């Protein structure tokens, strides 16, 4: 019993707003139908090939590129909650509209607009969580939020797969309604204490979070490690985007008409494993170096996708996703804490947008590249290439950790 209580220690004593945000993310995830099923929407409902579907997703991402930059600037100059409420509401209305039109490229236009609006709100969501946490409790806070999201995700994809096949209207409307419910929680119960142009005082243990004057680029030039880590996250983004693109396509290849449903089961297993394993992993890595942890997660990505190249049975997918999920948990908890610990309070929105744009480029091109690889080389060779990219990312992250540790020791000696 005492060991169980120890597992819950990182989640105790957090601000009320952290628990509310975690609950909101759980509700959102319960209705996260559209984006996880995007590749199937394009291939099954619109009849595109994997190659063309990847190109469409790439174009959708290119259109949304300015969104986080705009959102980051608005977040730091206006405030966190206002941006979240305004732009998430616009995105919600677009999803509702999608539910009442027949499958066509009009759907893609509306989904693109919705995704762009929600991308504008993204830096505000990131900044709000950073504002209400400290270096001492961030791993616990991010672990709780991540676990709550996956508690909802354990239900969402399975339900989404069913609605996708039988009730396409509710596939979109359900996503919109759950997003709205989460938004209401933030509106009523999360207080935004951020004041534009106000520099908050921090002690020496939070030196990197102290507010600064100047542009976001001047801030980033003083923190080159943030840029380097974000560059490596390009590789991680390329790999992770296969979760919602190539895995469902692979599932349809192996299981035929049951592919969408089985992908829902696979995604639900991912969510269940996160719920079970996150407390253990958060506690185990509570004092661990963040960058080394992220590197280990990349290695686990590579290992799982290498075996996925030869998966032909459902149980194989389940076993592989278990390894993948452990890596995902480690990366999610450690990366959230790392970026929050090294970003000045006055520039959180803008830093989040710029770094998100850099690392997000991997997500942007991932579907298009893997779609072309699959068409020209086949699914097995494509997975081997993706696994190699993941292993390279893990190695580079470990090298950055070693290099940054040496620099820190050198500065202490001076």
pLDDT at residue number 5: 61
CB 119 within 8 A of CB 64: yes
Alpha carbon distance 155, 267 (integer Å)? 9
Please count the other Cβ atoms lying within 10 Å of the Cβ belonging to residue 103: 15
- Judged on CB neighbours under 10 Å (0-12, 13-18, 19+), 1 is exposed
Per-residue pLDDT of the chain (414 residues; tens, 9 = 90+): 555 566 778 888 889 999 999 999 999 888 878 877 787 888 888 888 877 887 888 888 888 888 988 999 999 888 899 999 999 999 999 999 999 988 888 988 999 999 999 999 999 998 899 888 888 888 888 888 988 887 887 777 778 878 887 888 899 999 999 999 999 999 999 988 777 765 666 656 666 677 777 788 888 888 899 999 999 999 999 999 898 788 888 888 888 878 877 887 888 788 788 888 888 898 888 888 899 999 999 999 999 999 988 888 889 999 999 999 999 999 988 998 888 888 888 888 888 888 888 888 887 788 888 888 988 899 999 999 999 999 999 999 999 998 877 655 444 343
Alpha carbon distance 56, 51 (integer Å)? 9
Give me the sign of the Cα torsion angle 323, 22, 241, 283.
Answer: negative
pLDDT at residue number 3: 55
pLDDT at residue number 396: 96
CATH 1.20.1250.20 fits 10-192+215-408, yes or no: yes
pLDDT at residue number 197: 63
Alpha carbon distance 367, 292 (integer Å)? 27
pLDDT at residue number 411: 40
pLDDT at residue number 407: 59
3-state class (DSSP) for residue 294:
helix
Whole-prediction pTM value? 0.76
In terms of phi and psi (left: phi > 0; alpha: psi -120 to 50; beta: otherwise), the region of 79 is: left
Alpha carbon distance 150, 274 (integer Å)? 6
DSSP state of 137: T
Please count the other Cβ atoms lying within 10 Å of the Cβ belonging to residue 3: 7
pLDDT at residue number 372: 87
CA 6 to chain centre: 27
Runs of H (alpha helix) within 132-206:
138-153, 156-166, 168-189
């Amino acid at each position: 019993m005492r060991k169980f209580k120890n597992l819950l220690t990182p989640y105790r004593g957090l601000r009320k707003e952290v628990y509310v945000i975690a609950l909101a993310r759980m509700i959102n995830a319960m209705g996260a139908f559209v984006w996880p099923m995007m590749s199937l929407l394009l291939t099954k409902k619109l009849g595109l090939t994997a190659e063309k579907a990847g190109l469409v997703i790439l174009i959708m991402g290119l259109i949304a590129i300015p969104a986080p930059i705009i959102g980051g600037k608005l977040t730091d100059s206006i405030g966190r909650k206002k941006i979240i409420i305004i732009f998430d509401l616009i995105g919600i209305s677009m999803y509702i509209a999608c539910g009442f039109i027949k499958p066509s490229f009009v759907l893609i236009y509306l989904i693109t607009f919705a995704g762009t609006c929600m991308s504008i709100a993204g830096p505000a969501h990131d900044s709000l969580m950073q504002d209400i946490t400290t270096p001492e409790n961030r791993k616990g806070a991010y672990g709780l939020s991540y676990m709550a999201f996956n508690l909802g995700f354990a239900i969402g994809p399975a339900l989404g797969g069913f609605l996708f096949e039988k009730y396409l209207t509710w596939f979109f409307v359900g996503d919109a309604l759950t997003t709205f419910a989460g938004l209401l929680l933030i509106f009523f119960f999360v207080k935004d204490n951020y004041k534009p142009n106000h520099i908050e005082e921090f002690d020496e243990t939070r030196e990197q979070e102290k507010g600064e004057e100047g542009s976001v680029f001047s801030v980033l030039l003083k923190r080159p490690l943030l840029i380097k880590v974000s560059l490596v996250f390009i590789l991680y983004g390329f790999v992770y985007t296969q979760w919602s693109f190539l895995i469902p396509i692979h599932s349809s290849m192996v299981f035929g008409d049951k592919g969408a449903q089985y992908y829902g089961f696979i995604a639900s297993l991912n969510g269940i494993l996160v719920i079970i394993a996150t407390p253990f992993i958060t506690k185990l890595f509570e004092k661990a170096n963040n960058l080394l942890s992220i590197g280990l997660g990349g290695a686990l990505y590579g290992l799982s996708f290498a075996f996925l190249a030869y998966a032909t049975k459902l149980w194989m997918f389940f076993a592989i996703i278990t390894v993948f999920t452990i890596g995902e948990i480690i990366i999610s908890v450690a990366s959230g804490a790392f970026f929050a610990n090294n970003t000045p309070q006055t520039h959180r929105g803008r830093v989040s947008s710029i770094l998100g744009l850099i690392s997000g480029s991997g997500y942007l091109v991932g579907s298009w590249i893997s779609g072309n690889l699959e068409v020209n080389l086949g699914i097995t060779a494509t997975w081997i290439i993706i696994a190699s990219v993941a292993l390279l990312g893990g190695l580079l992250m470990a090298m950055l950790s070693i290099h940054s540790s040496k620099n820190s020791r050198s500065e202490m000696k001076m």
